[in-house]
Amino acid sequence: MRIRPERVANAMRKEIADLLENELRDPGVTGMVSVTDVEVNPDLSMAKVFVSVLAGHGNADTVLTALHRATPFIRHQLARRIGLREMPEIRFYHDTSIERGARVEDLLRRIQEGEAIPDEEE
């Protein structure tokens, strides 16, 4: 049954977003950091938290390092807020889907307007 991990993931996403916005005072997590998704494994031992960093509001590596430092605080706060006996281990990952979507949108706009598409810089 997948209902419980999904419920826990949704509760964690909501509470982590609130913690990042209102409680966490780490200068490495400044600007626009959004929790885009949380995936909890079936036995509730591990949670993958995907975050997106708005362009111009910090470096993703710096934000992930700061979130790693803040993980014990975040887990403690989550345990109090969600009420789980055993809080899943939390790992933070950079979610690039918003940046990729913006890039695709920009390319489609350029094609529609007849602009030249630059070669990929990667």
CA distances from 103 to 1, 4, 57, 114 (A): 38, 35, 18, 16
Domains and CATH numbers, the chain: 3-112 (3.30.300.20)
| Count of residues making up the chain | 122
pLDDT of residue 121: 52
Percent of the chain with pLDDT over 70: 89
Pick the range with the lowest mean pLDDT from 8-22, 24-38, 63-77, 78-92: 24-38
Which range is most confident: 2-16, 25-39, 99-113? Answer: 2-16
pLDDT of residue 1: 44
Percent of the chain with pLDDT over 90: 47
pTM listed for this prediction: 0.78
The tokens for 46 are 């591990």
* pLDDT tens sequence across 61-95: 888 999 999 999 999 999 999 988 889 999 999 98
What SS3 state is found at 91? strand
Say how far apart CA 93 and CA 19 lie, in whole Å: 17
pLDDT of residue 3: 61
